[in-house]
Structure 1
Amino acid sequence: MSPVSADVVKDLAPAGVLRAAINYGNGVLAQRGPSEQEPRGVSGDLARELARRLGVPVHFVSFDGAGKVFDALGATPPDPLAWDIAFLAIEPARAAEIAFTAPYVLIEGTYLVRKDTPYQSVTELDAPGRRILVTPKSAYDLFLTRTLKHAELVRLPPHDDDALMDLFARERLDAMGGVRQLIGKYLATNPDLRLLPDSFMDIRQAMGTKQGRTIGARYLQDFVEEMKASGFVAEALKRSGQSATVAPPAA
């Protein structure tokens, strides 16, 4: 990429520091490090590289869910935890406030179900009387809210694993929606569960900045394309021990 102009730096780091929102609710993209300023994973690596190119320090702002990242942006009065860049899935409900890049990673959204249920495909869950557990304001919650015709969504804020499994079992819910790699972890301690083989969506993980920062958003778009093409994203995923698909070049 060409040298960074002062206008780009002003757009993306107006306070002289790049405030990067890190969503620890998505363990494929971010994992906690020794401190809040040392996150591991592809999100942290991309933020550090971007800050290096801008010539400013990076300050990480931690969140435990994508919905909280989005809410911090539009809070009134302004939230002290607001950010300059974030790593979120592209969703129409967010695009009015966030200027997204093309995706840099694609992740599958699927369902976790009990082994004794008859479901073999995600389409079978969209039926009257079916209840699906999701995290509020997550990408898959927003998508399923838009697309499901009959099933009911049951929302539980980001919580510990025991609370999720307790609610799932106690309420006899039909499925839990989520990122395949993340909800798949429950199989190790719950042998009576299984993942459906197909998916209900490709979760398109992208970088974003606030709408109105046109110059910065354009630079961010080019930055993401270079990070994909150079192998940076693939290497960052590998270093953090995560398996995900690097998104293809933007059309």
Structure 2
Amino acid sequence: MHALLISCATLFFACSISAGAATHADTLVVGMDLSYPPFEMTDKAGEPSGLSVELAQELGKALNKPIAIQNMAFDGLIPALKTGKIDLILSSMTATAERARSIDFSEPYFKSGLSLLVNKSSPVASVADLDNPQRTIAVKRGTTGHIYVAQHLKKAHLLLLDKESSAVMEVVQAKADATIYDQIFVVQNWQRNPDTTRVLLDPIDAGEWAIGIRKGNDALKVQVNAFLATFRANGGFSRLADAYLQEQKAGFEKLGVPFPL
């Protein structure tokens, strides 16, 4: 997979992966969980990289503000936004009604329904089969997959983990029947583990990713939405998909499913 790993120094952005507030009032502090490649990750030098990082950099250029990226656990992003430690969440976050009670969201920029990555030896043929005390589901803590299981699959044994990769490994090693996550994540990990996993890609719950914004920060919300509209109209999202998501696009094509970006 080709990735445009652009250094923050080259773009004159003040990037940081430490915890804490902005270094100065004019900096736009963006919260991410840098453990979800190719969207949010670190390069070999430990610097933030990925599709979401480049999108944040483009937003900074549009707003004429330097960007500081704060790396934190996914379930800590909303509390950090609400307490002012960060200004935005740009971390493959699905805009849900529950989350919208605490924070505002931009217009969506990515469609991402939930689907299943299943171990090949598991008898699971649909999400309904998972609502069974004999079935085990591994999910990342605080994600929409976690929320879905808690609400709809209460009979299943739930393994709560801190990383998507850990949930996938439980499925690969047949310690869990399935993991529930965004379609693009499921396709990506099926491609990487074709001998031990299979995919049930029909969305079990529709969703769209959006940028999280603190309630009351209406001026920033208007600016973010204007940027997203212009960036899409100018082919920005298509360019990012070509740079970062060739592997995933090929997987969707093989399965006969339209690519969501």
For Structure 1 versus Structure 2, the TM-score category normalised by the shorter chain is 0.7 to 0.9
Q: Which residue of 1 aligns with 2:17?
A: none
Q: Among residues 23, 42, 65, which one is paired with 1:32 in the alignment?
A: 42
The answer on 1:51 being equivalent to 2:66 is no
Whole-angstrom CA distance in 1 between matches of 2:260 and 2:162: 27
Whole-angstrom CA distance in 2 between matches of 1:200 and 1:40: 27
Whole-angstrom CA distance in 1 between matches of 2:171 and 2:117: 14
Q: Among residues 62, 72, 77, which one is paired with 1:69 in the alignment?
A: 77
Whole-angstrom CA distance in 2 between matches of 1:195 and 1:108: 13
Whole-angstrom CA distance in 1 between matches of 2:208 and 2:164: 24
Mapped contact 2:31–2:86 kept (Cα < 8 A): yes
Offset at residue 133 of structure 1 (A): 0.9
| Structural RMSD (CA) | 3.0
After superposition, the Cα gap between the structure-2 partners of 1:99 and 1:122, relative to the gap in structure 1 and judged at 3 Å, is same
Seq. identity, %: 22
Which stretch shifts more, 109-118 or 95-104? 109-118
After superposition, the Cα gap between the structure-2 partners of 1:218 and 1:145, relative to the gap in structure 1 and judged at 3 Å, is farther
The answer on 1:223 being equivalent to 2:232 is no
After superposition, the Cα gap between the structure-2 partners of 1:127 and 1:227, relative to the gap in structure 1 and judged at 3 Å, is farther
Whole-angstrom CA distance in 1 between matches of 2:220 and 2:53: 19
After superposition, the Cα gap between the structure-2 partners of 1:38 and 1:118, relative to the gap in structure 1 and judged at 3 Å, is closer
Letter of the aligned partner of 2:216 in structure 1?
G
After superposition, the Cα gap between the structure-2 partners of 1:123 and 1:226, relative to the gap in structure 1 and judged at 3 Å, is farther
The answer on 1:173 being equivalent to 2:188 is no
After superposition, the Cα gap between the structure-2 partners of 1:188 and 1:213, relative to the gap in structure 1 and judged at 3 Å, is closer
Q: Among residues 210, 216, 219, which one is paired with 1:212 in the alignment?
A: 216
Q: Which residue of 2 aligns with 1:133?
A: 138
Whole-angstrom CA distance in 1 between matches of 2:126 and 2:105: 31
Q: Which residue of 1 aligns with 2:199?
A: 195
Q: Which runs of 5+ in 1 are unaligned?
A: 1-12, 247-251
Whole-angstrom CA distance in 1 between matches of 2:152 and 2:107: 22
Letter of the aligned partner of 1:109 in structure 2?
L
Mapped contact 2:32–2:74 kept (Cα < 8 A): no
Offset at residue 145 of structure 1 (A): 2.4
Whole-angstrom CA distance in 1 between matches of 2:184 and 2:164: 17
Letter of the aligned partner of 1:176 in structure 2?
T
Offset at residue 54 of structure 1 (A): 1.8
Mapped contact 2:81–2:213 kept (Cα < 8 A): no
Offset at residue 156 of structure 1 (A): 1.3
After superposition, the Cα gap between the structure-2 partners of 1:60 and 1:225, relative to the gap in structure 1 and judged at 3 Å, is same
Relative CO higher for 1 or 2, CA cutoff 8 Å, sep ≥ 6? 1
